[in-house]
Amino acid sequence: MDLSNQPQKDATESMSELSVSSGKKEVRQQMLLQWIENSHYVSLEEIAERFRVTTQTARRDIADLEHQGKVRRLHGGVSQLAPLDPLTYRQRRHDQMDEKARIAEAVVALIPDNASIFLDTGTTCEAIANALVSREHLHVVTYSLRSAAIISEKTDFTLAVPGGFVRPIDGGMFQEDTPEFIRRFKFDYAIISVSGVDIDGDLCDDDHTEVAVVSAALRQAAHKLLAVDSSKFGKRAMVKLGSVHDITAVITNELPTPVLSDILHAANIPVILANMDT
């Protein structure tokens, strides 16, 4: 990747850099964001050198921008984040809506009253949140503001959410210590969804921030339920979350591809099909 397109600094820009390095974090981060948008990728060392800050400060700036949903953190640097089009996300909420509702019902059929639950973010998990209200006295941890709003209507539920920035497009809540927040809890069930399950059985997602949160939840859960519609099978995404071997059961609307079905069968992981006939 060519990193030689870093803009040349004139005297005015150098003075600006001196001012932002002296404590004007918001200005520095705005300048950094503009630089990333122009260059598409910037290394950690380049950020530290240009703004005359330590690499630790550069990392914190990257983390802040990432948690605001503005950039994607990569190994050794940061890249421009192609934002999810609001129209695309609204379409996703309506895509296979009936299937997601049936999957949600099948998931909730596995959940007893009084259980402790981690609930992932995304349109499928929002459907699950709607179905969970049929249960009693659940203890729920989620980083989805949309799901939290649904669950909070149940006065007999206990609900915990992390603080931090809210991603407006889908209501995801993020801050740097969100995974640590999740690790404070023990769950009877972790209910997750992913962007794709590739033919090798890898669970993949598009956002490594979400991956860190979900990975923490899976390690704290006795039962790990993967809720996905059939369009996710055979699909790949940029960040590997884990493997189907890390989960307890798959809840979906159609059987996976033969290759993936064989992997699940060999690992003794049941595939629970939602009832699509009613």
Q: Which of 66, 26, 33, 68 is nearest to 47 (CA)?
A: 33
Most confident of 77-91, 107-121, 251-265: 107-121
Of 171, 175, 169, nearest in space to 81 by CA: 169
Residues 186-236: pLDDT tens digits?
999 999 999 899 988 999 887 777 888 999 999 999 999 999 999 899 888
Asked if 168 and 95 count as a contact pair (C-beta separation under 8 A), the reply is no
Euclidean distance between CA atoms 99 and 85, whole angstroms:
23
| pLDDT above 70 as % of the chain | 83
pLDDT at 67 over 90: no
Global pTM value: 0.70
What pLDDT is attached to residue 1?
A: 43
CA dist., res. 191 & res. 119, Å (int): 5
Q: Which residue has the tokens 């998931």?
A: 107
Q: pLDDT of 14-62, one tens digit each?
A: 434 444 444 588 889 988 988 887 766 788 888 999 899 999 999 999 8
Mean pLDDT of 245-271: 95
**CA dihedral sign, ordered 17, 18, 21, 25:** negative
Cα(162)–Cα(173) distance, integer angstroms: 7
**pLDDT(240) > 50:** yes
Interatomic CA distance for residues 172 and 166, integer angstroms: 6
* CA atoms in the 13 A half-sphere facing the CB of 53: 25
Domains, in order of start, for the chain: 11-80 (1.10.10.10), 88-273 (3.40.50.1360)
Banded pLDDT at 132 (limits 50, 70, 90):
very high
| 50 vs 53: CA distance, rounded Å | 8
Phi, psi for residue 78 in degrees, rounded to 5: -150, 145
Compute the CA torsion angle 257, 261, 262, 267 (nearest 10 deg): 150
pLDDT tens profile 153-174: 999 999 999 988 887 777 888 8
Q: What is the mean pLDDT of the chain?
A: 84
Cβ atoms of 268 and 245 closer than 8 Å: no
CB 269 within 8 A of CB 260: no
Phi and psi at residue 190, to the nearest 5°: -110, 120
pLDDT value at residue 89: 53
pLDDT value of position 14? 43
